Homo-oligomer: A and B are copies of this chain.
Amino acid sequence: MTFQRHTALDDRATQTDQNTMRILIADDHELLRDTLMLYIGNEPGMVAESVQDLDAAEARMAAGEEYDLVLLDFTMPGMDGLDGLRRIMGMSGDHRVAIISGTAQRDIAEEVLAAGAAGFLPKTLSAKSLVNALRFMALGEQYAPLDFMRASENDQQKHPLAKQLSQREFEVLEGLTQGKSNKEIARDLDIREPTVKLHVKTLYRKIGASNRTQAAMIAKEKGLF
């Protein structure tokens, strides 16, 4: 992997401030902050700063710092879902804000875009694609990776544990992890309670649980939901 040419702008040291793109990265994963800043800093015409939570990002912006783009991690202290995004976007000034996330799925991405964010960037994106997306968004466009947005609604067929379960059992298990009663699950899925009980019982067998709390903990630890 070499870095002789990143873009056509590479060797033009005449870069002016107006042409330099300022990016603020807010993410509680210091590892990513450090390495990503290094990567972006290596890109011509790009300068990145980083903070570790939403409050710090807000403080920077409130202090009058101007950024061409602000990247917010979706799961970071202070975010609280989309509230943090809305708070930053509601600040005075004309800010372009994008969400970056390692865990959020398509439904979250859609809500993010609907809320008016400049883009949604999963951490499964390559560094190169990310930089391209940054430039794209700085131009005023809205970005989200197409393959990510095309991902099927129920992409649990990948997970080994979920694979053993039928679709319904999976949905019931999701209810269990939310601490719902059989009655509530039945209402939510629009089926009868006895049916829920059946699914509960059979999924216990399949995943090796002996009660709903164990089932919920197993699902959680295996990384489902």
Contacts A/B (CB < 8 Å), 24 sampled: A1-B6, A1-B42, A3-B42, A30-B124, A30-B126, A31-B123, A31-B127, A32-B35, A34-B128, A38-B39, A38-B42, A78-B160, A79-B223, A80-B159, A80-B161, A81-B221, A81-B222, A81-B223, A102-B102, A179-B210, A179-B211, A179-B214, A216-B217, A220-B220
A34 and B210 contacting across the interface, CB-CB below 8 Å: no
Interface: A62 (CB within 8 A): no
Interface: A28 (CB within 8 A): yes
Interface: A61 (CB within 8 A): no
0/1 string, A126-162, CB within 8 A of B gives 1: 1110100000000000000000000000000011110
Given that A1-B41, A80-B222 are known contacts, is A179 also in contact with B217, CB under 8 Å in the complex?
Answer: yes
0/1 string, A74-93, CB within 8 A of B gives 1: 11011111000000000000
Taking a contact as CB atoms closer than 8 A, the residue among B1, B30, B222 that contacts A125 in the complex is B30
A220 and B217 contacting across the interface, CB-CB below 8 Å: yes
Q: How far is the CA of A41 from the CA of B195 in the complex (A)?
A: 56
Interface: A209 (CB within 8 A): yes
Name the B residues within 8 Å of A223 (CB-CB).
74-75, 79-81
Interface: A167 (CB within 8 A): no
Interface residues of A in 186-225 (CB under 8 A from B): 209-217, 220-223
Name the B residues within 8 Å of A28 (CB-CB).
124
Name the B residues within 8 Å of A125 (CB-CB).
30-31
Interface residues of A in 36-75 (CB under 8 A from B): 36-39, 41-42, 74-75
Instruction: List the B residue with the shortest CB-CB distance to A41.
Output: B1
Name the B residues within 8 Å of A103 (CB-CB).
75, 103
Q: How far is the CA of A74 from the CA of B215 in the complex (A)?
A: 20
Interface: A29 (CB within 8 A): yes
Name the B residues within 8 Å of A20 (CB-CB).
none
Q: How far is the CA of A179 from the CA of B177 in the complex (A)?
A: 12
Given that A41-B1, A124-B30 are known contacts, is A177 also in contact with B35, CB under 8 Å in the complex?
Answer: no
Interface: A166 (CB within 8 A): no
Interface: A97 (CB within 8 A): no
Name the B residues within 8 Å of A15 (CB-CB).
none
